[in-house]
Chain A
Amino acid sequence: MAGSRLDGLRAAATAIALLVAIPVAVVFSSWLAPATDIWRHFAAYVLGDLLRNTFWLALGVCLGTLLVGVSLAWLTTMCEFPGRRVFAWALMLPLALPTYVLAFVSRGLFDYTGPVQTALRSWSGAADLWFPRIQSTGGVITVLTLALYPYVYLITRNAFRTQGVRMMEVAQSLGHGHVSGFFRVALPMARPWIAGGLALVLMETLADFGAVAIFNYDTFTTAIYKAWYSLFSLPAAAQLASMLLLIVLALVLTEAVLRPRRRYHTARPGAPGRRIVLSRRLAAFAFFYCAAILALAFVLPMGQLLLWAYEVLPHDLDGRYLDFLGHTLTLALAAAALTAAAALILVYAVRHNSGGAMRAVTRIATLGYAVPGAVLAVGIFIPVAWLDNQLILMARGLFARDAGLLIQGTILIMLLAYVSRFLAVAHNPIEAAMHRVAPHIDEAARGLGLGRLATVWRVHLPMLRGGLFTAVILVFVEVMKEMPITLMLRPFGWDTLAVRIFEMTSEGEWRRAALPAVALVLAGLIPIALLLRRADKT
């Protein structure tokens, strides 16, 4: 009995891993089909630009988040200046803004017709004032930097906090001042963490669809969307997707090679040392620097968003919004529950199978976080469409009548894609919770006369509850904000808040995009609150 149940667990885990493996395989197999005219057109006229754009965007955002994230982490952990405590947590807030929200607010604020340039012109009296063009490579790099620096900031802060102060003291006792200590000790020691943060930033940048679309900055994700929805060429979309996937996989491999080095760099936190007390001048500089980043990345856009939302509220808020909200919540809730369940299956499969096979299955299954949503959408749509056609043919053969589309064009296909993309998000907290359920706890429960199911129910579940809750919340918020998968796989007319934002912004209606954006940002604040609460505990 137990044996067959465990076999079922293994089979279920493997099926979950296939949710990632099949789309990846399908995308790569697009090269087996003969090249289409559309592809030849892409290769000749578009591909070069895409590669160039992607390269500059990745490089710029990397450098930007490196500079901003590391400097902020350094200031808020190692130095003492007025406001440091508040900045330390407030600088995480930009995580709540999806990149595309920051993107459209920035365009609304800083475009030629936006309030900032208008105010400048009326203040100076000049009709044509020079102002950096926001809709440019520099503009999109700046916006993504401001939206994504928290990844580098958070992880680097951890590194500095566990070892920074102590190691700076060691360097000082050996005759190195703060500047020399920073470059020779703190920075090299934090390198594995910084690299981890940058890898996350790069993955987000490569996967970004909404922000680059708002800036009309063509990258692979927007090209995939255009190939599919404007040029109606799924094969070309798949071929583009495969190129993006190659870049991403190279990145994942690099990160995996670098990661183990982090283990050895953890110093035991010793007696707390003293932060560097900045001189008045430097303290003022630190304060204004932190304040400027916080203002640009969160306070200003949030204020503008609220203002716009308030303006359009009377005539824009109607019955359709109930639909948007209902669709969004239904999708997010269903996806969160499914994803958490899938993660739970993976965790149990590893627990009950000591071999490496289930670990490998888990690694594949959680790889979806690296696969951009646009790629996943293509990779899931193709096999599902094929399956639907088979089913239709079969139904026609069996019942001599036409069946409708079963999976494609329903929310089921979206849910499959979400599970695949966000499994890692749910897996991390559940796995961490399961770590605390040591094997001897099982033995103790069994020794006290509990059966296998009773053990799961009365011992495991209470211990896993916190992890499950975190997993559900995190996936819920991710799905709410998700744009490319929702856009490409949704049933006709099934609009969500994110889709509404895409539609409004693609017509340049920044104001009208504000209302759904506010809802998303508020939801995005939840995981940050969770993060802060956990940080308080440690």
Chain B
Amino acid sequence: MPETSTATPLLEVRHVSLAYDGHRVVHDVSFAVLPGRMVCLLGPSGCGKTTMLRAIAGFEPVEQGEIMLAGRSASRPGWTLPPEKRGIGMVFQDYGLFPHLNVADNVTFGLRGVSRDERERRLTELLETMGLMAARRRLPHELSGGQQQRVALARALAPRPALILMDEPFSSLDVELRERLSQELRELLQRHNVTAVMVTHHQNEAFAMADEIGVMSDGHIRQWDNAYNLYHRPASRFVADFIGEGALLPGAVLGDGRVEIETGVITTGHAPACRVGRIVDVLLRPDDVVHDDGSDLKAEVTHKAFRGAEILYTLRLARGGRVLALVASHHNHAIGEKIGIRILPDDIVASRVNPAPRPDPRPGATPHRSLSGDRAG
């Protein structure tokens, strides 16, 4: 992490709890965002991420804790700095474009006390970067979904806020547009040197946009990390389950970071601290399992999903354990065929203590997204 200790965080959330309609929806959440960083709150719907974002914007009062903006208190119990005095830009989920104003008037809406020349200059600059010059005089209902999103962003950026908040900015767009726009959006925000906090429930959007990601569930932040670590070193069963695909295999702890699983002994770079002999679940991502025709370790193909460049194979090991393997798609094998695999031995493999150790190894962990029913507490 770069110079964490020296720079003042632009946004600091300290032990904040939030309630909505009498229900507590965010519990004791803390995090800080340094200037220029892009941060994402990721979690399933109803996890409290949008309420957190609205509290940062000043729309929700905090019940406990404090929100600091550039070192100054902005929200504390019983007092909330009004949203219009925070200098924060916000892009709403449904964009909230003013239907009675055209694109130009929407974008310049937040420019108060700005000279006419300056207003025109900023408008032109923003519309040009967003490729909206031709749509200048159009009304919101005459724009495509992607254009509406860009107008909403341009409008939020126009007053030059230090911090911009985005609530599911891509949710109303179709999938192809999402991927492209999230790339564009990141570059654009970087060019304007904007600090951003975004909320989404799509991990791909979070991975594409954010330097740091906070995974939330039930009002708690479960892990605050970069994308790589969330994927390969999930701190809890919930995170492992929520992020990416994979399979869990039961294994016995041997000590020194080594765990014995069905396929042999593996070294985990992320060793669970527990006593020798304990049964744990080991998370194997599809990219931890490599197809190798020369390998002695064989597994039977039970399911395959063609994904273009790759095929995602679900494989059954000799003793019934299941793993997923992502294999280049010209290795086309039929269901029932036995193929050679290798488990990558390095520290990419992560493991996680099973919250409730199971004495008898199950005949194979559930493959695919949902790794298991119980969520880490």
Q: Is the CB of A173 within 8 A of B109?
A: no
Q: Is the CB of B59 within 8 A of A167?
A: no
Q: Indicate whether A173 sits within 8 Å of B89 (C-beta atoms), given known contacts A189-B100, A265-B99.
A: yes
Q: Is the CB of A173 within 8 A of B90?
A: yes
Q: Is the CB of B84 within 8 A of A176?
A: yes
Q: Is the CB of B83 within 8 A of A172?
A: yes
Interface string of B102-118 (1 = CB under 8 A from A): 00000001101000000
Q: Is the CB of A174 within 8 A of B139?
A: no
With a cutoff of 8 Å between Cβ atoms, the chain A residues found around residue B140 in the complex are 264
Q: How far is the CB of A173 from chain B (nearest CB, A)?
A: 4
Q: Is the CB of B98 within 8 A of A189?
A: yes
Q: Interface size class for chain B? A: 20 to 34
Across the interface, name the chain A residue whose C-beta is closest to B91.
Answer: A173
Interface string of A453-482 (1 = CB under 8 A from B): 000000000000000000000000000000
Q: How far is the CB of B121 from chain A (nearest CB, A)?
A: 18
Most buried by B among A173, A267, A273: A173
With a cutoff of 8 Å between Cβ atoms, the chain A residues found around residue B98 in the complex are 167, 170, 185, 189
Across the interface, name the chain B residue whose C-beta is closest to A167.
Answer: B96
Q: Indicate whether A264 sits within 8 Å of B59 (C-beta atoms), given known contacts A167-B98, A173-B83, A174-B110.
A: no
Q: Indicate whether A175 sits within 8 Å of B112 (C-beta atoms), given known contacts A270-B92, A271-B50.
A: yes
Give complex CA distance A167, B99 in Å.
10
Q: Is the CB of A169 within 8 A of B59?
A: yes
Q: Is the CB of B96 within 8 A of A169?
A: yes
Q: How far is the CB of A165 from chain B (nearest CB, A)?
A: 10
- A-B CB pair tally, cutoff 8 Å: 76
With a cutoff of 8 Å between Cβ atoms, the chain B residues found around residue A167 in the complex are 96, 98
Across the interface, name the chain A residue whose C-beta is closest to B86.
Answer: A173
Q: Which of A189, A191, A274 meets B59, CB within 8 Å? A: A274
Interface string of A486-525 (1 = CB under 8 A from B): 0000000000000000000000000000000000000000
Across the interface, name the chain B residue whose C-beta is closest to A173.
Answer: B90
List 14 A-B residue pairs with CB atoms under 8 Å apart, sorted by A's residue number: A166-B96, A171-B84, A173-B90, A173-B110, A173-B156, A174-B156, A175-B85, A176-B84, A189-B99, A264-B99, A264-B140, A265-B99, A271-B50, A271-B93
Q: How far is the CB of A176 from chain B (nearest CB, A)?
A: 6
Does A268 sit within 8 A of B, measured CB to CB?
yes
Does A48 sit within 8 A of B, measured CB to CB?
no
Among residues 135 to 176 in chain A, which have CB atoms less than 8 Å away from a CB atom of chain B? 166-167, 169-176
With a cutoff of 8 Å between Cβ atoms, the chain B residues found around residue A166 in the complex are 92, 94, 96
Among residues 128 to 164 in chain B, which have CB atoms less than 8 Å away from a CB atom of chain A? 139-141, 155-156, 159
Q: A167-B96, A167-B98, A174-B109 are in contact. List 5 more A-B contacts (CB 8 A).
A: A169-B90, A169-B96, A172-B59, A173-B89, A270-B92
Among residues 3 to 62 in chain B, which have CB atoms less than 8 Å away from a CB atom of chain A? 50, 57-60
Q: Interface size class for chain A? A: 20 to 34
Across the interface, name the chain A residue whose C-beta is closest to B109.
Answer: A174
Does A188 sit within 8 A of B, measured CB to CB?
yes
Q: Is the CB of B94 within 8 A of A270?
A: yes
Q: Which of B82, B93, B155 meets A174, CB within 8 Å? A: B155
Q: Indicate whether A177 sits within 8 Å of B60 (C-beta atoms), given known contacts A166-B92, A189-B100, A270-B93.
A: no
With a cutoff of 8 Å between Cβ atoms, the chain A residues found around residue B159 in the complex are 174-175
Q: Is the CB of B110 within 8 A of A175?
A: yes
A residues near B (Cβ < 8 Å) are 166-167, 169-177, 184-185, 188-189, 191, 264-265, 267-268, 270-271, 273-274
With a cutoff of 8 Å between Cβ atoms, the chain A residues found around residue B60 in the complex are 274
With a cutoff of 8 Å between Cβ atoms, the chain B residues found around residue A265 in the complex are 99-100
Give complex CA distance A271, B54 in Å.
11
Across the interface, name the chain B residue whose C-beta is closest to A270.
Answer: B94
With a cutoff of 8 Å between Cβ atoms, the chain A residues found around residue B100 in the complex are 188-189, 191, 265
Among residues 73 to 90 in chain B, which have CB atoms less than 8 Å away from a CB atom of chain A? 82-85, 87-90
Across the interface, name the chain A residue whose C-beta is closest to B99.
Answer: A265
Give complex CA distance A271, B53 in Å.
13
Across the interface, name the chain A residue whose C-beta is closest to B21.
Answer: A272
Give complex CA distance A433, B366 in Å.
49
Q: Which of A171, A267, A273 meets B109, CB within 8 Å? A: A171
Across the interface, name the chain B residue whose C-beta is closest to A166.
Answer: B96
Q: Is the CB of B50 within 8 A of A176?
A: no
With a cutoff of 8 Å between Cβ atoms, the chain A residues found around residue B110 in the complex are 173-176
Q: Is the CB of A172 within 8 A of B82?
A: yes
Q: Indicate whether A264 sits within 8 Å of B93 (C-beta atoms), given known contacts A173-B57, A273-B59.
A: no
Give complex CA distance A274, B61 in Å.
10
With a cutoff of 8 Å between Cβ atoms, the chain A residues found around residue B93 in the complex are 270-271
Among residues 237 to 276 in chain B, which have CB atoms less than 8 Å away from a CB atom of chain A? none
Q: Which of B50, B59, B99 meets A267, CB within 8 Å? A: B99
Most buried by B among A172, A264, A270, A273: A172
Q: Is the CB of A170 within 8 A of B92?
A: yes
Q: Is the CB of A267 within 8 A of B155?
A: no
With a cutoff of 8 Å between Cβ atoms, the chain B residues found around residue A264 in the complex are 99, 139-141
With a cutoff of 8 Å between Cβ atoms, the chain B residues found around residue A174 in the complex are 84, 89, 109-110, 155-156, 159
With a cutoff of 8 Å between Cβ atoms, the chain A residues found around residue B99 in the complex are 189, 264-265, 267
Give complex CA distance A83, B155 in Å.
37
Q: Is the CB of B59 within 8 A of A268?
A: no
Across the interface, name the chain B residue whose C-beta is closest to A190.
Answer: B100
Q: Is the CB of A268 within 8 A of B94?
A: yes
Q: How far is the CB of B41 from chain A (nearest CB, A)?
A: 15
Interface string of B199-223 (1 = CB under 8 A from A): 0000000000000000000000000
Q: How far is the CB of A159 from chain B (nearest CB, A)?
A: 11
Across the interface, name the chain B residue whose C-beta is closest to A174.
Answer: B110
Give complex CA distance A345, B58 in Å.
55
With a cutoff of 8 Å between Cβ atoms, the chain A residues found around residue B89 in the complex are 173-174
Give complex CA distance A267, B139 in Å.
14
Give complex CA distance A171, B90 in Å.
10
Q: Which of A177, A184, A267 meets B96, CB within 8 Å? A: A267
Give complex CA distance A265, B141 in Å.
8
With a cutoff of 8 Å between Cβ atoms, the chain A residues found around residue B87 in the complex are 175
With a cutoff of 8 Å between Cβ atoms, the chain B residues found around residue A191 in the complex are 100
Across the interface, name the chain A residue whose C-beta is closest to B61.
Answer: A274
Across the interface, name the chain A residue whose C-beta is closest to B58.
Answer: A172
Q: How far is the CB of B159 from chain A (nearest CB, A)?
A: 6
Q: Indicate whether A173 sits within 8 Å of B82 (C-beta atoms), given known contacts A189-B98, A264-B99, A265-B100.
A: no
Give complex CA distance A265, B87 in Å.
28
Give complex CA distance A188, B50 in Å.
28
Q: How far is the CB of B172 from chain A (nearest CB, A)?
A: 9
With a cutoff of 8 Å between Cβ atoms, the chain B residues found around residue A267 in the complex are 94, 96, 99
With a cutoff of 8 Å between Cβ atoms, the chain B residues found around residue A270 in the complex are 92-94, 96
Give complex CA distance A54, B176 in Å.
60
Q: Is the CB of A177 within 8 A of B84?
A: yes
Most buried by B among A166, A170, A185, A274: A170
Across the interface, name the chain A residue whose C-beta is closest to B98.
Answer: A185
With a cutoff of 8 Å between Cβ atoms, the chain B residues found around residue A188 in the complex are 100
With a cutoff of 8 Å between Cβ atoms, the chain B residues found around residue A169 in the complex are 57, 59, 83, 90, 92, 96
Q: Is the CB of A173 within 8 A of B139?
A: no
Give complex CA distance A274, B20 in Å.
10
Q: Which of A177, A184, A268, A271 meets B82, CB within 8 Å? A: A177
Across the interface, name the chain A residue whose C-beta is closest to B87.
Answer: A175
Q: Is the CB of A175 within 8 A of B59?
A: no
Q: How far is the CB of B303 from chain A (nearest CB, A)?
A: 37
With a cutoff of 8 Å between Cβ atoms, the chain B residues found around residue A185 in the complex are 98
Q: How far is the CB of A267 from chain B (nearest CB, A)?
A: 7
Q: How far is the CB of B103 from chain A (nearest CB, A)?
A: 14
Across the interface, name the chain A residue whose C-beta is closest to B167.
Answer: A271
With a cutoff of 8 Å between Cβ atoms, the chain A residues found around residue B82 in the complex are 172, 177
- Top 7 A-B pairs ranked by shortest CB distance? A174-B110, A173-B90, A170-B96, A172-B83, A264-B141, A172-B84, A265-B99
Give complex CA distance A225, B172 in Å.
59
Q: Is the CB of A176 within 8 A of B112?
A: yes
Q: How far is the CB of A479 from chain B (nearest CB, A)?
A: 39
Give complex CA distance A274, B84 in Å.
15
Give complex CA distance A189, B89 in Å.
22
